Copies of this chain bind each other. A is one copy, B any other.
């Protein structure tokens, strides 16, 4: 039997992608969408799918009680997400939260609530499963091949370098790699900056060019061999396999899991 899902924020960019993803998977069923400004209209008609038999409901509490959902997916705002999650757990509907903005204290509080109620719950700031796997593998590889460099490549309108993903990857590598400065001790930069930015002794390089979107490779070297882990992302649909996974996993959990990477071990 299909997992019954409601999507809060179903009209938004991520929300409507989620509706499309659910609609195309026989193991999932959208029972309603939630949007304060819409009521009764078919969700599919609003987002351009044509009628799909699931209405918009303008009140979350009613969606949670009248439609008998198993899972609530939330892509809304930092202001409302905490209350949404509390309500869902209260009505024994497992929350899958992609909205960012929850504090450490919020997460802790929701985690206790989930545990008391033996309910599954998932909060994930990044649903791009390929990126999550890249970071996880990079951390695993660093234990055995501690000489590493990161090359991240983005479009040339990006302001910050290195990217957030590169820094997150570097931190995860740093947790398992004994800190040491790479390269020959007498290495010399003829042009300053050539060897990149050093994080705990290993370099990160940032490439910015038109025609690129969001790419990263992590290269590990040891005697006679290199291992490269690379992720290429071209658009927002890349988050959907991660949301799909979260919906299917959360119904089997009895506690809150933070971060899609933790989910991969379950």
Q: Which residues of A line the B interface, CB within 8 A? A: 128-131, 133-134, 137, 140-141, 144-145, 147-149, 151, 153, 156-162, 167, 182-184, 186-199, 203-213, 219-241, 245, 264
Provide 6 A-B residue pairs closer than 8 Å at the C-beta atoms, listed in order of the A residue.
A144-B241, A151-B207, A157-B184, A191-B197, A194-B205, A228-B229
**Other-chain residue from B160, B230, B233 in contact with A228 (beta carbon distance below 8 A):** B230
Q: In the complex, what distance in Å separates the CA atom of A159 from the CA atom of B184?
A: 6
Decide if A208 touches B225 in the complex (CB within 8 Å).
no
A209–B194 Cα gap in the complex (Å)? 14
Asked if B207 and A188 make an inter-chain contact with CB atoms under 8 angstroms apart, the answer reads no
Docked complex Cα distance between A133 and B228 (Å): 10
Which residues of the partner chain B approach A220 to less than 8 Å between Cβ atoms? 130, 209
**Is A130 touching B197 in the complex (CB atoms < 8 A)?**
no
Q: Which residue of B161, B184, B210, B240 is within 8 Å of A190 (Cβ)?
A: B161
Task: Evaluate contact between A187 and B167: CB separation under 8 angstroms.
Answer: no
Number of copies: 4
Q: Is the CB of B211 within 8 A of A224?
A: yes
Give the most central of A134, A137, A225, A239: most B CB within 10 Å.
Answer: A225
Residue from the list B162, B190, B222, B228 in contact with A167, Cβ < 8 A: B190
Between A188, A193, A211, A239, the greatest number of chain B beta carbons within 10 A of the residue's beta carbon is seen for A211
The residue in chain B whose Cβ has the minimal distance to the Cβ of A232 is: B226
Inter-chain contacts of A151 with B (CB < 8 A) = 151, 205, 207
Which residue on chain B has the smallest CB distance to residue A242? Answer: B144
Tell me which residues across on chain B come within 8 A of A226, comparing CB atoms: 130, 209, 211-212, 231-232
Q: How far is the CA of A128 from the CA of B130 in the complex (A)?
A: 25
Neighbour of A160 across the interface among B188, B207, B232, B241, CB < 8 A: B188
Which of the residues B198, B205, B234, B245 comes within 8 Å of A213, measured between beta carbons? B234
B158, B184, B213, B232: the one within 8 Å of A208 (CB): B184
Contact B238 A224 (CB under 8 A): yes
- The CA-CA distance from A213 to B134 in the complex, in Å, is 20
Cβ–Cβ < 8 Å partners of A241 in chain B: 144-145, 222-223
Instruction: List the B side residues contacting A225 at CB < 8 Å.
Output: 128-131, 211, 231-234, 238
| A151 CB to nearest chain B CB (Å) | 7
User: Is A190's CB under 8 angstroms from B209's CB?
Assistant: no
Q: Shortest CB–CB separation between residue A24 and chain B, in angstroms? A: 10
Choose from B145, B182, B197, B229 the contact partner of A137 (Cβ within 8 Å).
B229
Q: When the two chains form their complex, are residues A232 and B205 in contact, meaning their CB atoms are under 8 A apart?
A: no
CB pair B161–A187 under 8 Å, yes or no, is yes
In Å, the complex CA distance between A237 and B160 comes to 25
